[in-house]
Amino acid sequence: MRKIAVLVFSVFIIVAIVAPVTPHPTLAQEGATTWTCPEGYAGQTLSVYGWATYIGSNTIPDFEKLCDVTVLYDVTDGNENTLTRLREGNPGWDVIIITDYIVQTMVEQDLLEPINYDLIPNWANIGDTFKGRSYDPENTYTVPYQWGTTGVGYNVDAVGEEITSWEQVWDHDGPVSWPEDPRYMIGVGLQMLGYDPNTTNEDEIAEAAEYLVEHGSNVVAITPDDGQVLLAGGNVDIALEYSGDIVQIIQDCECDDFGYALPEEGANLFIDNLAIPTDAPNADLANVFIDYILDPQVGADISNEIGYGSPNQASLDLNLIDEEYLNNGITYPDEATMEHLWTVDANPDQEEAYIDAWDQITIFVGQ
Amino acid sequence: MDTSVASSDHRPRFQFGRLKLKAHGGFLALPATVWLFLFFLLPLLIVFAISFMERGRGGTVIYDWSPSALRSNFDTNYTYVTTEGYWLIFKRSLNIAFTTTAWCLVLGYPLAFFISTRRNQWVQKFSLFLVILPFWTNFVIRTYAWRVLLGNNDDGLLNHLLLQLGLIQEPLKLMFTTKAVTIGMVYGYLPFMVLPIYAAVERFDFKLVEAAQDLGGNDWTAFWRVIFPLTLPGVIAGSILVFIPAIGTYITAEMLGGTKGMMIGSLIYRNFRGTGDWTRGAATSMVLMAVVAVALFIYALVAQRTENTPSKAASHRSADVISRAYGLLAAMIAPIGGTISRRLILLSDDIYQRRRRTFGLNPNLRMKRDLLIRKTAPILLWANAIFCYIFLWVPIIVLLVFSFNNANSTAVWRGFSTEWYSKLFRGGIAVDADLTTDLLLQSIKVSLIVGVAATLISTIVAVMVSLSMARSRFIGKRPLEGLLYLPVGIPEITQGISLLVFFNIVFEYAAKHLGITLRSGYLTLILAHVSFCIPFVAIVVRARLANMNPHYEEAARDLGANEWNTFRRVTFPLMLPGVVAGALLAFTLSLDDFIISEFTKGLNTSTLTVVVYSMARRSVTPEINAISAMMIVVSTLLVGLSLVLQGRSAGKA
Amino acid sequence: MTAIDVELKHVVKEFAGRRKENAAVKAVDDVSLQINKGEFFALLGPSGCGKTTTLRMIAGFEDVSRGEILIRGKQVQGVPPFHRPVNTVFQDYALFPHMSVLQNVMFGLQMEGVTRTEAKQRAIEALELVQLPHTADRKPRELSGGQQQRIALARALVKRPTVLLLDEPLGALDLKLRKAMQFELKEMQLKLGITFIYVTHDQEEALTMADRIAVMNLGKVLQVGTPEDIYERPHTRFVADFIGETNFIKGRLCDRAGTRGQIELPSGDKVGAVLDDPAMPVGSEVTVAIRPEKLTLKHSSGTNPAHDSGTTLIPCKLQQSVYIGTDTRHVVNFGYNGSSAQLVVRTQNFRRTEDLSFSSGEDVYVYWVDENARVLVD
């Protein structure tokens, strides 16, 4: 036993010393950007906190090369996770990716720093639709990153029909997954009851929770952001998910097995944003990074890889976005569909009501 | 049973002269005491306090110490977490934890028995390693393998196999049920049951079986009346070691349970990491602790009865020490417990007699039955062992196979490829790494740094405290003993959230009053890991010390060695196997930990388990399989090598 | 004709060899025994001789490889230990550590389905038999070795077995206690009339207690007989050597008349001894065995004293005398012409008179009656 232990230990220690070598990224050959890095950042470090599979695989290595900096990218569980961790004190992030509805809450709690537009000449590239939204009217704290919809991803064979209504989702005789996204799901419930998806009426919120529990008997899992994996693996027939995630699995399987629907009663549109949290160790470089992301080519590369909508009008104007996304009917919904999409507003006063409702939903749904 | 403690009990309690002489030994216990107080007990007390506070706007905590506020917040918080929804999940968690413990016992006891009764010691060692080896791969990855196996449609390998064999017509609904969680947990915790029972059976004197048979007990009676009672300490230790982590499970339930299999760990996690409500999360943790305490209290009562066994086996200690921590309570009603257990024995005897009389009449029939037992028992033992080995190894094999998958999938086979290995290799030697590879490699580095540091520190601290406990007497030794072992009896998730809360408060204070910005990172990770490793290392080291003949040390002193030389030349070499075993245990625990790391990690210091978990939830690629495959190959080679080396040296001797 | 309780017919026990090239090891090799009802029968031999294996086969813990065992005339092949009417007192007692003394003793009765009250009563009786009723509620480890031994005995006897098997039961006790227990065991056996099969490596123990002894070596039974038979008339050199102290003298058979033989020693001296094998041809190389206490020392008066026929007298040189209380032990060299052999002579110290005191280096004669010396097969 002693010998084994000594052996195991020495190997682990050797590995610990030898294994971790910082990779030196090379600049990708295709779609090279013309963006140039301002002087004076060489050798610095930037820390980014965002979703997994939510950035281009070359985006960060290229930036590291262009500015001669080191970028650390860490993965979040979701907006609520980012919020709670910021509340505990910024662990050292310079840039975070957050969804529209959480912005006001963070602003109210002094968790975000204003953007320095002097460092972001590429701000002009953002389409007007995405500027000055209600969650941040002056874009003081946020810059749009990607946008998408939250809808119904489904297995065409298992469902057997085209999904056009939420009722089909509720009535489906087979496993369904919901996302761990309280405001979105409760919003759907409110909308089905004929209320405002952003209601401030606590009774309505409670009623929506009851509605969801009642109609969620076929729910087998409430998952943080991996419904598409369950759908692709055949563990659920329907996954309420973000548009880009469903696009990703459709691309991966190269088949017609999966469909994506935005039901006619209405669905959610979200805008994810880049923001700089309070106490960011390197806010200047963070602004430079945001400018880099807003470059038409860089932005297009990201959207082309992860399958979400680009708020970068310049990318669209320069035809840098792949045709398949423009025409797949998912990433960029038609005008008519866009009509009945709603966004989630920040509602800090009702946060507790939403939390309590979600608490009850997660416990009782699908039992 | 602990000789040192037992023998010290025979001495008078207060000997002031002796106390003075030996008091300096108490200082050796200081680091462990301070450490556990700061990074275990104090955080726990803070969580306890928070469970009496009011939830503030935006997930903050409003501190109000007025009795009326405490009273009403207590009502609000505890009523919420002990009614309807939460209580439902509590009941389910208890149910799953008991079921898991029961299955671990049903499968694990015969398996441990099988292993420890192999005559050839190499076969015995090999069978034991077959049980342990799967556990040197990452816990999350193993659980993920079950997701692949238990898939609901015919993509799920188990369903696929059963459908192909024609055993079922429709795919079974396994995934996202409590069944799936139980399977995953039995899989995860089986070795915790097997190891202590193995140790107990191995030390069992089989002469006693002959004695029982000689006196007319058949094989079953010999087992039930003699072997089982005498290996009961192992069973109790195993049950505790399974039950406590099982009831606080987070990962297994999250990955396999879905809505139907959600457990209390997920609710606590959500309250601290998701929606964010500390007061509710704190109250839930406290109720969880209370539930565990009640369960342990019952165990302690049973343990009290079995404590009188003469064996001083190391494994027995863990049962003993945990029950000791809770035993203070149990001791108060021990007389009642004793009466109850005596009654139970009488009752079981009576039932036995009655059964015996009803079908014990025909000696011919009895003989036939007894011979049948004799013939079938080994067959059943083998069958169980084979089943267990398949059960333990199938996920690993699935994992290995898919590490060669020529597709970005860990569930559907698309041809052979070594792509994932070369990807890792490329990343490892710094030519080209994409984000995933980068994250994985970084996390391996973090895990190794934290693991090695936590192992070293906790081993040193634990050795010091063990020596002090074994060889000195000082004021506060008994409470320290409780403090030392209590962490073993607290669910990991409770420890995790209490450290989160604690570090938070410390950081806030430092920022506000000292103007220092502190952040979570390596330091918080290592502090946390050390605090949960200390008790485990101490258990192992103390067991070794307890089995060590004190005469060796006396002999050394007699021959003129001073305290230091005695330690260096005699005590330490003798206790070294225990120290190494403890260190190895600490390292394994540290590598496998998810929940405490999740709550104490900082920027870019996610451990391998944390990263693998977040990947497993989203974009699992066979790269993870490749990493685990390499880990298991390396550990297998090491074990094989050491077996060969041991075989050589044994052959020479 | 007394009834036979246990009978072994050509019993062989083989254990598989450790390595492939080694053939199976015969632990017990063609053993046949008949043990009578009510007999105190000892299996005596050095460790590893197969005596414990033989006992374990009777108890049912080991299967017989060949041959058969009968208990009370019934074949017991395949009958598990718990269905055999025999009970064992184990070498280290094997008392159940988790049960009290009373529970230990009751265990066997409960296995028979005896009611709790009756079992308890009988167990207490058994404890009274071994004079330890006051220990009933204690745990075995709280008892001394001797007490544990008695409890083990009580536990086995309470079952009223046909045959009681005892596997070196006194091995762990100190000398004085062992002596006391020997006596007690014998008493108890006489009182209860149960057949005892007693395994021991201690020849004195066997001689003291047993009605008959089987001496075993290397898996074989060398000789079965009463203690007197075994001691006085050993058939083989091994038996003679193992039991008690024996002098061996090598020589050549030069003459014989019936059961009397004359053996010529290398020194030229001729000695007389009893021949067991009447067919042994003159001229064979033989060994003469004679016990030290059968020898007598005589002062040498310079000349070779005459002696009666049927006795032997050979000249020796006294090397050493050691006084050991009841006896004096003399070591003498004989055979002057370089071929020195040693003999041990024991003389009882019933009186210490001048004519019986010898001094070292003195020339002496060793004298014995030929009937007491035996010619052995090697």
* Three-state secondary structure readout of B114-172: HHHCCCCHHHHHHHHHHHHHHHHCCHHHHHHHHHHHHCCCCCCHHHHHHHHCCCCCCCC
Is the dihedral angle over the CA atoms B233, B235, B240, B245 positive or is it negative?
A: positive
Question: Which has the minimum average pLDDT: B47-61, B98-112, B276-290, C136-150?
Answer: B47-61
How far is residue A299 from each of residues A37, A100, A247, measured CA to CA in Å? 16, 19, 18
Mean pLDDT of C214-221: 93
Question: Which has the minimum average pLDDT: B36-40, B102-106, C18-22?
Answer: C18-22
Is the dihedral angle over the CA atoms A332, A337, A338, A340 positive or is it negative?
A: negative
Task: Collapse the DSSP code of A17 into the 3-class scheme (helix H, G, I; strand E, B; otherwise coil) and give the result.
Answer: helix
DSSP string, A156-204: HHHH-S---SHHHHHH-SS-EEEES-HHHHHHHHHHHTTS-TT---HHH
Say whether pLDDT at A19 is over 60. no
Helix-, strand-, coil-residue percentages of chain A, each rounded to 5: 45, 20, 40
Q: Which of C6, C54, C45 is nearest to C26 (CA)?
A: C54
Say whether pLDDT at C354 is over 60. no
How far is residue B604 from each of residues A91, A94, A337, B441, measured CA to CA in Å? 9, 12, 40, 12
Q: Are A92 and B580 a contacting pair at CB < 8 A? A: no
- For CATH 2.40.50.140, the residue range(s) in chain C are 245-376
User: For position B10, what pLDDT does the model report?
Assistant: 41
> Cα distance from B350 to chain C (closest Cα, Å)?
8
The radius of gyration of chain A from alpha carbons, rounded to an integer in Å, stands at 22
Burial of B326 (0-12, 13-18, 19+ CB in 10 A): buried
Mean pLDDT of B268-281: 84
Confidence of residue C13 (pLDDT cuts 50, 70, 90): very high
Alpha carbons within 13 angstroms on the beta-carbon side of residue A157 total 8
Domain boundaries of chain B, sorted by first residue: 19-43+418-620
Confidence of residue B277 (pLDDT cuts 50, 70, 90): confident
Mean pLDDT of B574-589: 81
Contact residues on chain B for C113, CB-CB shorter than 8 A: 353, 356-357, 360
Mean pLDDT of A123-136: 90
Q: Do the Cβ atoms of B55 and B62 come closer than 8 Å?
A: yes
Task: Collapse the DSSP code of C150 into the 3-class scheme (helix H, G, I; strand E, B; otherwise coil) and give the result.
Answer: helix
Say whether pLDDT at B327 is over 60. no
Contact of B653 with chain A, judged by CB distance below 8 Å, is answered with: no
pLDDT in tens, B536-547: 888 878 877 877
Contact residues on chain C for B211, CB-CB shorter than 8 A: 88, 90, 94-96
> Cα distance from B196 to chain C (closest Cα, Å)?
19
Mean pLDDT of B411-419: 76
The Cα A242–Cα A265 span in angstroms is 17
According to DSSP, the residues that pair with C365 across neighbouring strands are C298, C315
User: For position B5, what pLDDT does the model report?
Assistant: 38
Question: Which has the minimum average pLDDT: A246-260, B439-453, B564-578?
Answer: B564-578
ipTM of the complex in this document? 0.82
CATH number for B19-43+418-620 (one of 3.90.1150.10, 3.40.50.300, 1.10.3720.10, 3.20.20.120): it is 1.10.3720.10
More confident residue, B325 or C79: C79
| pLDDT > 70 fraction of chain C, expressed in percent and rounded | 92
Say whether pLDDT at B336 is over 50. no
Amino acid at C8: L
User: For position B335, what pLDDT does the model report?
Assistant: 41
CATH, domain range C245-376: 2.40.50.140
Q: Which residues of C155-165 are buried (b: 16+ CB within 10 A; e: fewer)?
A: bbbbbbbbbbb
Chains that contact A by 3+ CB pairs under 8 Å? B
| CA angle B575–B576–B577, rounded 5-degree value | 95
User: For position B334, what pLDDT does the model report?
Assistant: 39
Confidence of residue C71 (pLDDT cuts 50, 70, 90): very high
Q: Which CATH class is domain A148-269+333-364?
A: alpha beta
Q: Mean pLDDT of all residues in chain C?
A: 85
Say whether pLDDT at C313 is over 50. yes
- For CATH 3.40.50.300, the residue range(s) in chain C are 4-241
Contact of B512 with chain A, judged by CB distance below 8 Å, is answered with: no
- Torsion angle of alpha carbons A66, A69, A75, A81, nearest 10°? -120
The radius of gyration of chain B from alpha carbons, rounded to an integer in Å, stands at 26
Q: Which of A138, A225, A143 is nearest to A180 (CA)?
A: A225
Helix ranges (DSSP H) in B472-520: 477-485, 492-509
CATH number for A33-146+271-326 (one of 3.40.190.10, 3.40.50.720, 3.40.50.2300, 3.30.1360.10): it is 3.40.190.10
Q: Which of B218, B350, B353 sits opposite C82 (nearest CB)?
A: B218
User: For position B579, what pLDDT does the model report?
Assistant: 84
Contact residues on chain A for B59, CB-CB shorter than 8 A: 83-84, 87, 351
Say whether pLDDT at A288 is over 70. yes
Q: Are B511 and A83 a contacting pair at CB < 8 A? A: no
Mean pLDDT of C364-374: 87
Question: In chain B, whose CA is at the least distance from the CA of A59?
Answer: B435
The Cα B279–Cα B284 span in angstroms is 9
User: For position B326, what pLDDT does the model report?
Assistant: 41
Identical fold between A33-146+271-326 and A148-269+333-364: yes
How far is residue A212 from each of residues A174, A191, A240, measured CA to CA in Å? 17, 11, 13
Q: Which CATH superfamily is domain C4-241 in?
A: P-loop containing nucleotide triphosphate hydrolases (3.40.50.300)
User: For position B612, what pLDDT does the model report?
Assistant: 82
Q: Which of B273, B435, B621 would best serve as a mutation to test chain A binding (most A beta carbons within 10 A)?
A: B435
More confident residue, B383 or C304: B383
Mean pLDDT of B201-229: 85
User: For position B410, what pLDDT does the model report?
Assistant: 64
Confidence of residue A15 (pLDDT cuts 50, 70, 90): very low
Enter the tokens of residue B126. Answer: 């090999």
The Cα C20–Cα C25 span in angstroms is 12
User: For position A3, what pLDDT does the model report?
Assistant: 45
Mean pLDDT of B61-82: 88
The radius of gyration of chain C from alpha carbons, rounded to an integer in Å, stands at 25
Q: Are B617 and A3 a contacting pair at CB < 8 A? A: no
Say whether pLDDT at B7 is over 50. no
Question: Which has the minimum average pLDDT: A162-166, B526-530, B622-626, C259-263?
Answer: B622-626
Contact residues on chain B for A362, CB-CB shorter than 8 A: 259, 262, 267, 270
Tokens 């973090």 correspond to: B446
The Cα C195–Cα C3 span in angstroms is 11
CB atoms near residue C10 (< 10 Å): 12
User: For position B534, what pLDDT does the model report?
Assistant: 93
User: For position A23, what pLDDT does the model report?
Assistant: 39
How far is residue C161 from each of residues C40, C87, C154, C156, measured CA to CA in Å? 14, 6, 12, 8
Contact of B544 with chain A, judged by CB distance below 8 Å, is answered with: no
Q: Which of B282, B229, B238, B272 is nearest to B74 (CA)?
A: B282
Query: For residue B253, what is the DSSP state?
Result: I
User: For position B1, what pLDDT does the model report?
Assistant: 35
Enter the tokens of residue C107. Answer: 């265990």
